[in-house]
Amino acid sequence: MLGFAQLFASRLVKALAILIAIVVMNFFLVHAAPGDPAMVMAGEAGAADEKFVAQLREQFGLNRPLYEQLATYVGKIAQGDLGFSYRQQRPVWSILAERLPATLILTLTAFALALAAGVALGTLAAITVGTWADSAITVVALLAYATPIYWIGLMMSLLFSIQLGWLPAFGYETIGAGYTGLAHAADVAQHLVLPVVTLALFYMAGYARLTRASMLEVRGQDFVKTAKAKGLTPTRVVTRHILRNAILPVITVAGIQAGQLVGGSILIETVFAWPGIGRLAFEAVLQRDYQVLLGIFLVTSVMVILFNILTDILYGLVDPRIQAAR
Amino acid sequence: MTRPLPALPLRFQRAAAAGLLAAVLAIPALSGLTATPVLAQETPVKGGVLNSIVQPEPPTLMLGLNQQGPTQTVAGKIYQSLLTYDQKLNPMPSLAKSWTVSPDGLTYTFKLFENVTWHDGKPFTAKDVVFSTNVFLKEVHPRARAVFSRCESITAPDDYTVVFTLKEAFPAFLQSFEVSSAPMVPAHIYEGTDFRANPANATPIGTGPFKLKEWVKGSHIQLVRNDSYFKPGLPYLDGITFRVIPDAASRSLALESGQVQQTQYSDLEPFEVPRMKTHPNLAFSTKGYEFVAPMSWLEINHRVKPLDDKRFRKAIAYAIDRKFIRDKIWFGLGRIPTGPINSVVKFYDPKVTIYEPNLDKAKALLDEMGLKPDAKGVRATVKIMPMPYGETWTRLGEYLKQALGKVGIAVTLESTDAAGWSQRVANWDYEITTNFLYQYGDPALGVARTYISDNIRKGVLFTNTMGYSNPKVDALFAAGAREVDPAKRQTLYSEVQQILSDDLPVVWLLEMEFPTFLDKRVKNANTTAIGVNDTYEDVWLAAK
C-alpha cells in the first residue's frame, strides 16, 4: 500500500508542474488571437469612439504589459481565485459554478449511458460475431459514429418534440413553472432525454466498436480455451475471462473522455440550448473573454489530470498484473 | 395594429402647436389617427406571457452601458427615454409628455410626465434626466457623448422640466432621445459611483412597464409587469420571457412550434424566412427598423491601389448584381440602395448616379485605367474579408468572388471572427470588407460619420475607415447638421448624395431589412420606428 501512496504522490507532483505549464501556455495562446474583449464589445455596441475602447481596456487591465497581466493572473490562480470576467462583471468561479451542474448532469448521464450501452452492445456483437445481430450492432454503431452529432440532435428534436410532441425541444427546465423537489427533477429529466441520448449515441458507438474488437482479440487466446475446457459456463467465460481482459482499452479511452466531461459539449449544448460550459467556452472564445476561457481551460485540465490518475488506479483494480509490474 | 389613442393626442397636439416644428410634429398625431384600421375594435385583454428569443445573450441589461442589439430589445422594456418615434421617424412622447424647440434651434424644452417612478419606488424627475444626459451617458455612452457634448447647458428649472441649450443649432437633436440613444438612468443609484462597476448593473432599475425578475445565464431572461407603471392599466402582459437559443436551426424550430411567439433582427437566417412566411399562425413584417435603418456596403480601403481610383470602384459597382444579392442571398429581404442614405431616413434623395449591372461598362472602366487582362484574364487581384456575422455574409463573399471574376478582378476571400474583423477594420488592415451601419433616422447622426474626413480615426470601428476625403462633402455635411430649415437641409443633403454617388467611396449593397415574426395572437406589437425594442406597454395576447 505504501507503493500506492508513493505513486499517487509522485503523480500529483507531476500534475502540478503540468498544470503550471498549462496555465502559462493557455494565457499566451488566448492573448495571441487578434482583437481583444474591448474591441469585441465596441463592435457589438456599434460604438464608434476612442474613449469607449480606452475605458474598457483600462477597466479590464488590458492596457498593462502582457507579462504584468500574466503575473497578476498566476498570482490569483495560486490563491485559488479564477479571476474576474469584466464582460459579465462577475467572478469567473461563480460563472462556472452556475454552468457546471447543467453540464455535469448532461455529460455524466450521457457518459454512463454510453459506457453501459456501448460495452453491452459490443459484448453482444462479439459473442454473436458474424450473425445478423452483430451486423446490426456494427451498422448502428458506425452510423451513430459517422453522422454529425448536431444533425442527429436536430432530427431527434424534430421528431420527438415538433412532430410527436413528447419531449421538450430545448432548454434545461420549464421556465416560470416554479417546480420544486420531485416535480422539478422530473421536469429536468424530461428536458434531459434528447440531449443525453444524442450525446450518448456518439460515445456509445465508440465504446461498442472498441469492446467488440478487443473481445474478438481476447477470445482467441489460450486462457479462454482453458476456461472453456475446464467446463465453465459460457456466461462466466465471457464476463470473468474475456470481458475482464478485453475491457482495458475501453477504460483507457473512457478515462480520457471522462476528463473532458466538464468541458461539456459545444454542439449538443448549442442545438438544445442547454446552458452548459461548452457553450460558455465557445462564446468566451468569440468574445475574447480571456479570464472565463482560461478558467474553463484550467478546470478542464485539472479534471483530465485527475481522471488520468483515477484511470491508472482503476487499471490496477481490474488487472492486478499492472500493479505488480510497477 | 395601433397604439391606443389616449396616450397620444391632446397634450401632444398642444405641444405641437406651441413648438416651431408644428409641421413635423403634426404628422404623428395624424398617422396615429389614420392608422386605426380594423383591429381597433378588438378589446385588449390583460394577462399572458410573451415568449421571445434573445440572441446572442448580452453581457448586461444596463442599457446605458451596453447598446448591443439584444440588450436593446430586452432592456427597451425596462428603461425608457424621453421620446420614441413613429415609423415615419416623427417623435412621440415617452417619458416626456411634450416638448418645444426655440426658433433659433438652440433651446429644447421637455416637460416630463409627473407620476413616473423608478422600479425601486423613487420618483423619476428632471434631476434624473440632467444626471443621465449630462453626467452618466456623457461618461459611458459613445453616441450620447457625441450628441450631449453639443450642449452648452442642461438644466432643470423645476422637477418636471428639462432645458437643453445647444452651442449651435443641431436639428438632429430631436432624434437623439430614442431609448438606446439616451436611456434614462436613476441618479439616486448611480450618482457619485463608478458607473461600470456599480453592483446595481446586475439588477437594472428603470421606469419601464416591465421589471427584471430573473436572468439565468445561458438559459433565459424573465421580465414581469411593473405594477406601478405610470400609465394606469398598463402594461397588459404579465411578463415577457426571452430565451437564449444559440443555434439558428433550433430558433426556427422554436418559432415554428409556437414555443416562442416572436423573433426579430437576425434571429432567423434569411433562408428560413420564405418558409416561415407561409406559416398560418405567424405574421411577418419588415417594419419597425426605421430608426436603425441599416445600410450595408462593400467597404473599400482607399489606401490600397487600385482601390483608390473611383473608376475601379465604379467597375465593381457595375460588375455586381444587387438584385441578385437581395433575392438569392437575402431571400428578398432588403431594398436596393441608390446612394448613401437609406430611403426610410429623412432627406433621402433618389436623384443620384445609379449603377445597374453592366459588365461592359465595368470592363471599359478597367481598360481606361490601363488594367488589361493577363493570360488568365486577370486584371487585378483584391482581397475580400466578409463580415463574420453568419452564413449569409459568407455566401455574399462567395458571390462577390464570382461576380468580380467575370470582369477580370480576381478575389481572394479572407476569413476571420468577430474580434479579428474588428481589429483589422479599425486599424485599416484590409482591402475590401462588407459592413453595415445604422443610420439613426438622420443623416447627421448615422450617415455623415462614414464619409467626413474628420472621422478618419485609426483604431476606431465604424468611422471613416476607408480613408475617403472630399472637402466639399465635409462642408455639406457640416452645413446640413446645423441647418434648421428643413428645405435648406434637403438641398444640402441632396447635393452631398449626388457627389457621393459619383465618388463612390463605398459600394452600397443593400438597405437591409430584418424580419419580425409575430404570432397572430400578439397584438399591438411592432408599431414604432424601433419596433421590437419599444416598451411593449400596450402589447397584449389574444386568447388561443
Please check whether residues A229 and A260 belong to one and the same domain.
yes
Taking the Cβ of residue B454 and every Cβ of chain A, the question of whether any pair is shorter than 8 Å is answered with no
CA distance to partner chain A, nearest, from residue B13 (Å): 35
Taking the Cβ of residue B254 and every Cβ of chain A, the question of whether any pair is shorter than 8 Å is answered with yes
Domain boundary among A81, A110, A138: A81
Please check whether residues B300 and B438 belong to one and the same domain.
yes
What range defines the domain where residue B371 resides?
295-511
| B200 is a domain residue | no
Sheet holding B49-53, edge to edge: B210-216, B220-225, B239-243, B49-53, B262-263, B516-519, B282-285
- The grid coordinates of residue B33 equal 389617427
Please check whether residues A60 and A103 belong to one and the same domain.
no
CATH code of the domain in which A293 resides? 1.10.3720.10
Which residues of chain A neighbour B216 with C-beta distances below 8 Å?
Answer: 172, 275
CA distance to partner chain B, nearest, from residue A33 (Å): 8
pLDDT greater than 80 at residue A213: yes
Please check whether residues B453 and B316 belong to one and the same domain.
yes
Please check whether residues A60 and A111 belong to one and the same domain.
no
Please check whether residues A137 and A258 belong to one and the same domain.
yes
| A94 is a domain residue | no
Please check whether residues B324 and B473 belong to one and the same domain.
yes
| A1 is a domain residue | no
Please check whether residues B250 and B309 belong to one and the same domain.
no
B185 Rama sector, left if φ>0, alpha if ψ -120 to 50, beta otherwise: beta
Closest chain B CA to residue A161: B257
Please check whether residues B428 and B523 belong to one and the same domain.
no
Alpha carbon distance A202, A207 (integer Å): 9
Preferred mutation among B193, B244, B247 to probe A, highest tally of A CBs within 10 A: B247
What is the mean predicted confidence (pLDDT) over A41-64? 83
Please check whether residues B505 and B462 belong to one and the same domain.
yes
What range defines the domain where residue A169 resides?
99-325
Alpha carbon distance A21, A15 (integer Å): 10
Q: Hey, are the CB atoms on A43 and B418 less than 8 Å from each other?
A: yes
| A91 is a domain residue | no
Count of domains observed in chain A: 2
User: By percentage, how much of chain B surpasses pLDDT 90?
Assistant: 82
Domain boundary among A81, A114, A137: A81
Give the model's pLDDT for residue A187: 87
Q: Which of A33, A52, A150 sits opposite B419 (nearest CB)?
A: A33
Give the model's pLDDT for residue B15: 40
Within 13 Å and on the Cβ side, how many CA atoms surround B478?
10
Q: Hey, are the CB atoms on A176 and B241 less than 8 Å from each other?
A: yes
pLDDT greater than 60 at residue A1: no
CA–chain centroid gap for A143, Å, is 21
* Per-residue pLDDT tens over the stretch B129-138: 999 999 999 9
pLDDT greater than 60 at residue B24: no
Closest chain B CA to residue A95: B217
Secondary-structure percent of chain A, ordered helix, strand, coil, rounded to 5: 80, 0, 20
Please check whether residues B20 and B43 belong to one and the same domain.
yes
Alpha carbon distance A211, A207 (integer Å): 6
Phi, psi values for residue A94, rounded to 5°: -70, -30
| Cis bond upstream, residue B56 (ω within 30) | yes
Q: Hey, are the CB atoms on B461 and A270 less than 8 Å from each other?
A: no
| B201 is a domain residue | no
pLDDT band for A49, please (50, 70, 90 cuts).
confident
Considering only CA atoms, which of A323, A252, A314, A261 is closest in space to residue A105?
A261
Considering only CA atoms, which of A240, A258, A251, A246 is closest in space to residue A313?
A251
User: By percentage, how much of chain A surpasses pLDDT 90?
Assistant: 13
Angle value at C-alpha B118, between B112 and B124, nearest 5 degrees: 30
Domain boundary among A50, A81, A112: A81
Alpha carbon distance B318, B304 (integer Å): 20
CA distance to partner chain B, nearest, from residue A144 (Å): 21
CATH code of the domain in which B305 resides? 3.10.105.10
CA distance to partner chain A, nearest, from residue B164 (Å): 23
- Which position has the grid cell 453626467? B135
ipTM of the complex: 0.81
Taking the Cβ of residue A87 and every Cβ of chain B, the question of whether any pair is shorter than 8 Å is answered with yes
| B433 is a domain residue | yes
Q: How far is CA A243 from CA A112, A247, A261, A311, B157, in A?
A: 18, 6, 25, 17, 87
* Per-residue pLDDT tens over the stretch A142-187: 888 888 888 888 888 888 888 888 888 888 888 767 788 888 888 8
CATH code of the domain in which B119 resides? 3.90.76.10
The 3-state DSSP class for residue B111 equals: strand
* Per-residue pLDDT tens over the stretch A232-271: 888 888 888 888 888 888 888 888 888 777 777 888 888 8
What is the mean predicted confidence (pLDDT) over B410-432? 93
Which residues of chain B neighbour A32 with C-beta distances below 8 Å?
Answer: none
What is the mean predicted confidence (pLDDT) over B459-478? 94
Please check whether residues B322 and B365 belong to one and the same domain.
yes
Q: How far is CA A292 from CA A148, A298, B47, in A?
A: 28, 10, 39
pLDDT band for A323, please (50, 70, 90 cuts).
low
CA distance to partner chain A, nearest, from residue B306 (Å): 27
| B1 is a domain residue | no
What is the mean predicted confidence (pLDDT) over A9-29? 88
Q: Which of A46, A170, A288 sits opposite B462 (nearest CB)?
A: A46
Considering only CA atoms, which of A201, A279, A202, A262 is closest in space to residue B250?
A279
Q: Which stretch, A160-174, B54-68, B506-520, has highest mean pLDDT?
A: B506-520
Please check whether residues A131 and A273 belong to one and the same domain.
yes
Please check whether residues B129 and B62 belong to one and the same domain.
no
pLDDT band for A85, please (50, 70, 90 cuts).
confident
pLDDT greater than 70 at residue A325: no
Listed by number, the residues of chain A in 144-163 with a beta carbon closer than 8 Å to a beta carbon of chain B are 150, 154, 157-158, 161-162
Within 13 Å and on the Cβ side, how many CA atoms surround B212?
22
Please check whether residues A143 and A54 belong to one and the same domain.
no
Q: Which of A46, A275, A283 sits opposite B219 (nearest CB)?
A: A275
Domain boundary among B190, B218, B243: B190
Please check whether residues B438 and B347 belong to one and the same domain.
yes
Please check whether residues A64 and A185 belong to one and the same domain.
no
Q: How many CB pairs under 8 A join A and B?
A: 163
| B320 is a domain residue | yes
* Per-residue pLDDT tens over the stretch A67-80: 988 998 888 888 88
Which residues of chain A neighbour B426 with C-beta distances below 8 Å?
Answer: 39
Please check whether residues B312 and B345 belong to one and the same domain.
yes
Q: Which of A47, A89, A162 sits opposite B202 (nearest CB)?
A: A89
Sheet holding B295-300, edge to edge: B409-413, B380-385, B432-437, B295-300, B506-511
CA–chain centroid gap for A56, Å, is 34
Please check whether residues A76 and A199 belong to one and the same domain.
no
| B494 is a domain residue | yes
Considering only CA atoms, which of A256, A250, A252 is closest in space to residue A213?
A250
Please check whether residues B113 and B261 belong to one and the same domain.
no
* Per-residue pLDDT tens over the stretch A264-283: 788 888 888 888 888 899 88
Within 13 Å and on the Cβ side, how many CA atoms surround B504?
23
Give the pairing of strands B161-166 and B210-216: unpaired
Q: Which of B66, B140, B218 sits opposite A275 (nearest CB)?
A: B218
Taking the Cβ of residue A286 and every Cβ of chain B, the question of whether any pair is shorter than 8 Å is answered with yes
Q: How far is CA B255 from CA A70, B278, B281, in A?
A: 45, 13, 10
Q: Hey, are the CB atoms on A272 and B250 less than 8 Å from each other?
A: yes
Count of domains observed in chain B: 3
